[in-house]
Structure 1
Amino acid sequence: MADTLIKVDLNQPATSNENVHNRWHPDIPMATWVKPGDDFILETYDWTGGFIKNNDSADDVRDVDLSTVHYLSGPVGVETAEPGDLLVVDLLDVGAKDESQWGFNGFFSKNNGGGFLTDHFPDAQKSIWDFKGMFTSSRHVPGVEYAGLIHPGLIGCLPDHKLLAEWNERELGLIATEPDRVPPLANPPFAKTAHMGKMKGEARDKAAAEGARTVPPREHGGNCDIKDLSRGSRIFFPVYVKGAGLSVGDLHFSQGDGEITFCGAIEMAGWVHMRVSVIKGGMATYGIKNPIFKPSPITPNYKDYLIFEGISVDEKGKQHYLDVNVAYRQACLNAIEYLKKFGYSGSQAYSILGTAPVQGHISGVVDIPNSCATLWLPTEIFNFDINPSSAGPVVQNFKGIDMPISPDRKK
């Protein structure tokens, strides 16, 4: 049996655990060390550190302080790993903690992070999903059940000082172009809620003031939210500091491509069983500046899809030039409108697209002025027929079931 090198107690605040951090900084001490070839287990909090509760209120989603997230287990130092190497990480298994067989999906209010469709869903909402072995269903979103593809939404290695400075310079520069935007263009360093693992004293305070927030993906990996990076995957990470400094967290039971609801997968506390090795000089040898990976050989076996198209024309009819973001948004909105015809609320349909194993594809980026993006919705996850027919949609009797909503108190 592999050793559990980092443990988390879900009854204690994440900030009490010195083997956890919520910022990226090269000076964060390693929580533990391993050798190439070792396999080991890391336990993780959910990305909010337990702030979101299993109840029928969305107040916690509305009120969560997003400057505190994500809570990551690590960093794990790997002996012999040096800058310029590639750290090879095999995800041997991923699971939910025995005492926490549930997860949550949510929409943040527009004034607290928003999301991909925040203009259409500006208020905080939440759905709770129960795990039954490899399957999940929700009391807030009836009529669906699907197999999970459990994966870490966030995994990566520590940056060096040069890379950290580049991140802060370019992201602060972006914020400066529209400093009052809601939601903001990026998230700057924020020392007040930084949790820096084992760091203490003045060194901790200095690092907290410049540590990068964990919200976006970057060159080192980070919050990429790739659903196919699951058990059986092999990832090749660029190494920037001695020991690599591998950290992981933000586990998802299931997610659709794009994680479009932002709190957009089925978020959960759990554990990751992994093995590490090192390719010396691998960054230069293979010309790698961002991680690459081999996907999991295990995926939900859904074969029948309805595929929704979107093009680079937004909701107001404005033409954009080969804008894939606009095109994918339109594909998602088209799917939501379709599902509403069967009795779902818009919020329930949106939650399905964020949590179910939908596929997102960039189908065309050459035919000016419109890109074409597609969203592949598996029909087999529904317990009724959602295919079009001459008889029209059969509206389901969901007996008034919907997701809890908490309007923004700042309105």
Structure 2
Amino acid sequence: MPDVIFPLDSSKNFEDQKLLGHNRWHPDIPPVATVKPGDSFRVECREWFDGAIHNDDSAEDILNAPLDTVHKLSGPFAIEGAKPGDLLIVDILDVGPIPQEDSGPLAGQGWGYTGIFAKKNGGGFLTDQFPDAYKAVWDFTGQIATSRHIPEVAFEGLIHPGLMGTAPSADLLATWNKREGALIATDPDRVPPLALPPQPKDAVLGGVSPSDFERVAGEAARTAPPRENGGNQDIKNLSKGTRIFYPVFVDGANLSLGDLHFSQGDGEITFCGAIEMGGFIDLRVELISGGMSTYGVSENAIFMPGRVDPRFSEWLAFSGTSVTLDGEQRYLDSHLSYQRACLHAIDYLTKFGYSPEQAYLLLGAAPIEGRLSGVVDIPNACATVYLPTAMFDFDVRPSADGPHQVKQGTPAPHAAG
């Protein structure tokens, strides 16, 4: 096993660990460890809410999830010799739930969860249709996930980090804050908000000195969106065997990561749409000097996905076009077309006895495939969502016999805000 350079004690909160990570992006957050190009190492990661979500049959924890506290990131880790303009190569050697802990109160100890976030507290891809909080708890048996809250489904997880990235430079951080602030100003009272500005409350800033803490907390960017440094990309294919090329913006690169997922559908559509968990990740790093200009990777990481995807041979696919539920035509709106494809899949699954919320939770957690199938045929963009048929315990295809009816047990927990 590689050396553990960021250990976590499951009996302690994130802020009480031997090494303190962070939950904001800022170039002045000092590294907690330094590694050399060619080194392999292990990093332990806490689930993004640090234990605030429980293995129970209530969704009150999702309704009141402390969004100001996320994401709880391990790092930063400096790479010896890294300079702005380089490309940082990160190989994911292995990734999984909390080792040797198959039961306990923390997500990753044999279980994980998926949440539909309330519209007033985060929202989601289909928040207008699903404004309340719901939760599904998933049990892990090896690589297989099942849930008492979504009956008659089982699927193999594609384990991956939802969030990994390098530190921004001061100039890049200022760019983020300026452009996101301008977006917020167009509709400052929108629910859910258009973007998240710096929030000093609940900021965790690693080893930033007390004299600098207030300044850094007021400038530091929230970790919710993907940006030029990688960040919260939520790409389910960043799994074992993946190689990622990250732009470097500061000396040392200062790599950070977290938000591990046992499984996820393309889009993570419920916002907390993956199966969230804590766990470990083994990495190896290398550098390409001056690689950003050499390869034209001046912003946004590029990657070579691993080869451990579940091997599904049959799919049931649903399409959607850029027409609203009210019948309004939109011009090549691929976001809307994917929403409509997902809604068509959800409506279909309700014919088998699932509630709309159960179907929505399933699309976020299971390894569905989302595709932009047509973006040139004016005026309608076409998006598709593919459901692997093998994840159902019954034949989910249309037939003359009519839809099978699932046997409901424990309903998906619900909390109205």
Q: State the TM-score bracket (shorter-chain normalisation).
A: over 0.9
Aligned to 2:237: 228
Structure 1 equivalent of residue 118 of structure 2: 109
Alignment of 1:142-161 (within 5 A): 142-161=151-170
The yes-or-no answer on 1:3 pairing with 2:3 is yes
The structural deviation recorded for 1:120 is 1.2
Please report how far the alpha carbon of residue 45 of structure 1 lies from its aligned counterpart in structure 2 after TM superposition. Answer: 0.4
Contact 2:151 2:406 in 1 (8 A): no
Instruction: Give the equivalent residue in structure 2 for 1:41.
Output: 42
CA shift for structure 1 position 208? 0.8
Contact 2:59 2:134 in 1 (8 A): yes
Q: Aligned partners of 1:181 and 1:164: how far apart in 2?
A: 24
Identity in percent: 55
- 1:76-95 aligned within 5 A: 76-95=77-96
What is the rounded CA distance, in whole Å, between the counterparts of 2:393 and 2:407 in structure 1? 12
Alpha carbons 2:260, 2:277 under 8 Å: kept: yes
Give the alignment's Cα RMSD to 1 decimal: 0.8
Query: What letter corresponds to residue 274 of structure 2 in structure 1?
Result: A
SS at match of 1:330: helix
Unaligned runs of 5+ in 2: 102-108
1:16 counterpart residue number: 16
What CA distance in whole angstroms lies between the structure 1 residues aligned with 2:353 and 2:74?
41
For 1:101 and 1:315, the matched residues in 2 are separated by 40
Other-structure match for 2:136: 127
Q: CA deviation at 1:260?
A: 0.3
- Measured in 2, the distance between the counterparts of 1:363 and 1:369 equals 14
Q: Distance in 2 between matches of 1:10 and 1:407?
A: 31
Contact in 2 for aligned 1:19/1:198 (Cα 8 Å):
yes
SS of the residue 1:142 aligns to: strand
Partners of 2:278 and 2:406 in 1: CA distance: 33
**Alpha-carbon separation, structure 1, partners of 2:13 and 2:406:** 42
**Structure 1 match to 2:61:** 60
- CA–CA separation in structure 2 for the residues paired with 1:174 and 1:79: 37
CA distance in 1, matches of 2:177, 2:166: 17
Matches within 5 A, 1:2-401: 2-17=2-17, 18-97=19-98, 98-99=100-101, 100-288=109-297, 289-399=299-409, 401=410
Paired AA for residue 32 in structure 2: A
SS of equivalent to 2:180: helix
Q: CA deviation at 1:402?
A: 1.6
Structure 1 ranges of 4+ moved more than 6 A = none
Deviation for aligned residue 1:192: 1.4
Query: What displacement does 1:207 show?
Result: 0.5
State how far apart, in whole Å, the 2-side matches of 1:395 and 1:46 are: 34
Letter of the 2:118 partner, please give it: S
| Residue pair 1:146, 1:356 contacting (<8 A) in 2 also | yes
Amino acid at match of 1:341: K
Contact 2:2–2:42 at 8 Å: present in 1 too?
yes
**8 Å Cα contact 1:265-1:354 kept in structure 2:** yes
Distance in 2 of aligned mates of 1:107 and 1:8: 28
TM-score (ref. length: structure 2): 0.97
**One-letter amino acid of the structure 2 residue matched with residue 85 of structure 1:** D
> What letter is aligned with 1:280?
S
> Which letter maps to 2:113?
F
Alpha-carbon separation, structure 1, partners of 2:406 and 2:215? 57
Contact 1:10 1:50 in 2 (8 A): no
**Residues in 2 aligned to 1:367 and 1:32: alpha-carbon distance in whole angstroms:** 51
Shift of 1:344: 0.4
SS state at 2:176 partner: helix
Deviation, structure 1 residue 65:
1.4
Aligned-partner residue type, residue 31 of structure 2: M
Q: CA deviation at 1:200?
A: 2.2
Once residues 73 and 126 of structure 2 are traced to their aligned partners in structure 1, the CA distance between those partners, rounded to angstroms, is: 27
Secondary structure at the counterpart of residue 144 of structure 1? strand
| 1:290, distance to aligned residue in structure 2 (A) | 1.1
Q: Could you say what secondary structure the match of 2:280 adopts?
A: strand
Q: Who is 2:105 aligned against? A: none
**1:291 offset after TM fit, Å?**
0.2
Task: Give the SS at the match of 2:150.
Answer: coil
Deviations 1:96-145 (A, max 9, x none): 00321110100111000100011111111111001000111001111100
Q: Which amino acid aligns with 1:153?
A: G
Say if 1:149 and 1:227, in contact at 8 Å, map to a contact too.
yes
